[in-house]
Amino acid sequence: MIKIIRNFAKRIFSGVFKKKGEIKLGFYGSPNAGKTSLANRISQDWLGEDLGTVSKMPHETREIQIKEKVVLERDGKKIEFKLIDTPGVATRIDFEDFMKFGLKKKAAQDRAKEATQGIIESIKWLDDMDAVIVMIDSTVNPYSQVNITILGNLAARDIPVLVVANKIDLKKSNIKKVRGAFPEYEVVGISAKGGDNIEEFYEELFKLVKKV
Amino acid sequence: MAKKVIKKKVVKKGVKKLAVRNNTSSKMRTKARSSLSKKNDLTIHFMPYSEIANEDAVARVKKIMGIVLKNKIIILQGKLRVEEEAKLIENSMMLIGNVAGFAGIEIASLSGENENRSLFDSVRRNIAKILVGEQDAITVIGPASVVKEITKDPKKVELLLARK
Ligand SMILES: Nc1nc2c(ncn2[C@@H]2O[C@H](COP(=O)(O)OP(=O)(O)OP(=O)(O)O)[C@@H](O)[C@H]2O)c(=O)[nH]1
Ligand SMILES: [Mg+2]
């Protein structure tokens, strides 16, 4: 009840005081979920340029990456976004895992160090978001503590969330399981890489923005 | 109400130690202060909620990390708050690279409402039943290296618990 009133008040005040300018849209999730792939796709679709680098080696994004003034248009409505791609959050980092991808020990240790700092950054930035896309790799178990902690912290801050179940192009993908894990959230299944279902994603994104 | 059940089952309040050691002498253990103790030294620390109930977030996280760094697995009766979960992750990240052998934590909050199957899956029900009864929620937190060992060989924990 209090939450409803608070949300209501928030909406009224933001309507009055904040000209609904730029929306700070965060991309959160586990390493390798496809956050940068989706951020790049949006940035490419509307700006024609990439935002960050994508890799099959986890913890590719180790610093916050920002793309400003990304204007999306839908049904005659224009919304300006600031896309904020964050380093994948994990509870553990073992540099030896990077060596399996062919990195030398030193390089692997450096990557691990940067990755730990990246995660601290990601968590700090939670406070600054207007809305967040929580990216979940739909080919792996969605009941991970990282997903639970991220969603819990966003809920505690009253930040609107859209859950994206990514990699639906893969055989192992299971959107149902993602929906089952987080029944209280809107879940849209896409392939950030191949572009499947991106239209529906944009539709959900515009709905999400209404909650800001 | 649930609390009473737990007390009975746990017998003694406070720390419950179930340790197997592989010839790690206590001297060696104190020597290795800023690094984790031997992998085979598996200890479970049962933490009744009362142990942290009156602490603030910072003190809770400090307490938990202190135990995890001794290479113990914590079974906490109840749940951490979301901001404490986040702090725990931040803290772990700060320690990786600074504490030899420490690669972070595994944490799983298990309750009736969520079916967290990401880890401990084959052992958690048993642990939960033995240690906390049919409690609403428990949180398992351990050093990642140790949890890796367990998931490779879940019988280890079951054996331990069976012997108590
Ligand atoms: N098959 C498939 N692969 C994908 C999809 N989206 C991303 N990937 C792949 O998954 C890997 C990780 O993608 P990223 O976009 O770098 O993931 P991230 O979430 O930014 O990862 P971090 O930066 O490490 O946190 C890359 O190899 C991508 O090509 C998808 O929809 N389908
Ligand atoms: Mg990335």
Q: What is the CATH number of the domain that holds A128?
A: 3.40.50.300
Classify residue A196: in a domain, yes or no.
Answer: yes
Residue B86 to residue A117, Cβ atoms within 8 A? no
Per-residue pLDDT of A143-202, as tens digits, reads 899 999 999 999 999 999 999 999 999 999 999 999 999 999 999 999 999 999 999 999
- State the distance from the centre of ligand 2 to the C-alpha of B163, rounded, in angstroms: 46
Distance CA B101, CA B41 (A): 14
Least confident of A41-45, A151-155, B94-98, B131-135: B131-135
**Residue of A41 and A16 predicted with greater confidence:** A41
Classify residue A78: in a domain, yes or no.
Answer: yes
Distance CA A35, CA A192 (A): 8
User: Residues A56, A147, A118, A196: is their CA dihedral positive or negative?
Assistant: positive
Classify residue A148: in a domain, yes or no.
Answer: yes
Classify residue A6: in a domain, yes or no.
Answer: no
Residue A119 to residue B93, Cβ atoms within 8 A? yes
Per-residue pLDDT of A143-155, as tens digits, reads 899 999 999 999 9
Classify residue A127: in a domain, yes or no.
Answer: yes
| End-to-end alpha carbon distance in chain B | 26
Question: Total structural domains in chain A?
Answer: 1
- Average pLDDT along chain A: 93
Residues found in chain B: 164
Report the pLDDT averaged over residues A82-109: 97
pLDDT for B135 beyond 60: no
Contact present, A197 and A188 (Cβ < 8 Å): yes
Tokens of A168: 């639906």
Tokens of A172: 């192992």
pLDDT for B28 beyond 60: no
Which helix (H) or strand (E) segment is B68 a member of?
A: helix B57-68
Classify residue A108: in a domain, yes or no.
Answer: yes
Report the pLDDT averaged over residues A79-89: 98
**Residue of B71 and B93 predicted with greater confidence:** B93
Which helix (H) or strand (E) segment is B107 a member of?
A: strand B105-111
In a 3-state reduction of DSSP, which class is residue A32?
A: coil
Residue carrying structure tokens 């994508």: A54
Per-residue pLDDT of B80-114, as tens digits, reads 999 999 999 999 999 998 999 999 999 987 765 44
Phi, psi of B121 (to 5 degrees): -55, -45
Band of pLDDT at residue A122, cut at 50, 70 and 90: very high
Closest CA to B119 of A96, A58, A145: A145
Cα separations (Å) of A13 from A19, A154, A161, A183?
10, 20, 20, 30
- State the distance from the centre of ligand 1 to the C-alpha of A93, rounded, in angstroms: 18
Classify residue A13: in a domain, yes or no.
Answer: no
Classify residue A15: in a domain, yes or no.
Answer: no
Least confident of A1-5, A24-28, A53-57, B31-35: B31-35
Least confident of A16-20, A41-45, A84-88: A16-20
- Average pLDDT along chain B: 68
- Our CA-based measurement puts residue B98 at a distance from the nearest CA of chain A, in whole angstroms, of 10
Interface of A with B (CB under 8 A): 89-94, 109, 112-113, 116-117, 119-120, 123, 126, 141, 143-145, 148-149, 152-153, 155-156, 181
Q: What is the pLDDT of residue A8?
A: 63
pLDDT for A3 beyond 50: yes
Q: What is the maximal distance between C-alpha atoms in chain A?
A: 55
Which helix (H) or strand (E) segment is B23 a member of?
A: none
- State the distance from the centre of ligand 1 to the C-alpha of A38, rounded, in angstroms: 8
Q: What is the DSSP letter of B134?
A: S
Band of pLDDT at residue B78, cut at 50, 70 and 90: confident
- Ligand 1: which residues within 6 Å by Cβ? A 29, 31-37, 54-56, 58-61, 87-88, 135, 166-167, 169-170, 191-194
- Our CA-based measurement puts residue B136 at a distance from the nearest CA of chain A, in whole angstroms, of 17
User: Given ligand 1 and candidates A193, A196, A201, which is best to mutate, with the most ligand atoms within 8 Å of its CB?
Assistant: A193
**Residue of B68 and B29 predicted with greater confidence:** B68
CB-based burial of residue B100 (10 Å sphere; 0-12 exposed, 13-18 middle, 19+ buried)? exposed
Q: What is the pLDDT of residue B10?
A: 35
Least confident of A25-34, B44-53, B146-155: B146-155
Residues found in chain A: 212
Residue carrying structure tokens 């951020």: A39
The range of the structural domain enclosing residue A80 comes to 21-210
Q: What is the pLDDT of residue B22?
A: 36
Most confident of A158-162, B17-21, B135-139: A158-162
